[in-house]
Structure 1
Amino acid sequence: MWPDLPFEFNVMGTPVSSQSELSAPRQEWKARVANAALAALPEGAWSFDETRLSVTLFYFPQAPMIGDVDNIIKLTLDAMIPSVYLDDSLIDRVVVQRFGPDANAAFANPSNKLVEALGSEGPILYIRVDAVPGEPSF
């Protein structure tokens, strides 16, 4: 059984850039994402192996983010292999946005996981995996 789509989860902490010179923080971030994904998956779920996917990443920092938002994508996507999907070549679309700590993010129809991220005390990354070509409805 594959997980129902959309599949959503949150990762506490500050994403690490794929360009970080230190290997340990990169590996720690990937482990944090992988563990959060595994915890959110239903028991016995299989990884997607053919479904074309879209991934949405919304980062809610507690302080202004230093660095480029695009640098957080690669490690995060790679960390979901093989628990969510077998190969990141299945991803046809990535939507990524950083919301400043003082931003009043408003969504028309937020899911429970997104509401959880919006109410977080610490930095958090909201991740949503959905089928393509469906547009996310927030």
Structure 2
Amino acid sequence: MGPELPFEFAVRVTAISLQGSGASKAAWKDAIREAARKALPEGSWLLTEPLAVTIFIFPGAVMQGDVDNRVKPILDAMVRCVYSDDEIVERVVVQKFEPGRVFAFQSPTDTLVSALEADEPIIYIRVTNDLHEELA
């Protein structure tokens, strides 16, 4: 059985850019996979249906570089861990929240609250099959 959706987790790591070194990207992807596996129910299988992914990046300081360069390594890290292939991801929402620039969320989940309260760089990731989740 696949994980109950939406599925969310947080990774206590600084978001690396697509242009990062091969070794640093590999270690970073491993950290994302490890966090996802810890949050997934034991025995769950890979998702194969169309998905939407929300990524909130909470850097420890002003983030250098483009936010869009952080997306591809995150999506790639979840292949064969959360979903079968990143081609099934039909929608991606990404936003960075630099220190002092976070707003109040209306109904944050416990996982998002933990990310908001973290005093170190953290990435919040939410995977859902509701492709119109924040649009209604």
- Classify the TM-score, shorter chain: over 0.9
What does residue 92 of structure 1 align with?
90
Q: CA deviation at 1:103?
A: 1.3
**Amino acid in the other structure paired with 2:94:** V
In 2, Cα distance between equivalents of 1:45 and 1:23: 30
Q: Which runs of 4+ in 1 moved over 6 A?
A: none
8 Å CA contact 1:14–1:123 kept in 2: the answer is yes
What does residue 24 of structure 1 align with?
23
Task: Give percent identity, aligned residues only.
Answer: 48
8 Å CA contact 2:15–2:59 kept in 1: the answer is no
Q: CA deviation at 1:109?
A: 0.7
- How many residues align? The count is 135
Instruction: Give the CA RMSD over aligned residues.
Output: 1.2
Q: What runs of 5+ residues in structure 2 fail to find an aligned partner?
A: none
1:37-96 alpha-carbon deviations (Å, 9 max, x no partner): 0010000100012x1100000011110000000000011000001010000010000000
Q: CA deviation at 1:134?
A: 3.5
Q: CA deviation at 1:8?
A: 0.2
TM-score by length of 2: 0.95
**Amino acid in the other structure paired with 1:85:** Y
TM-score by length of 1: 0.94
After TM superposition, the structure 1 = structure 2 runs for residues 109-120 of structure 1, keeping only pairs within 5 Å, are 109-120=107-118
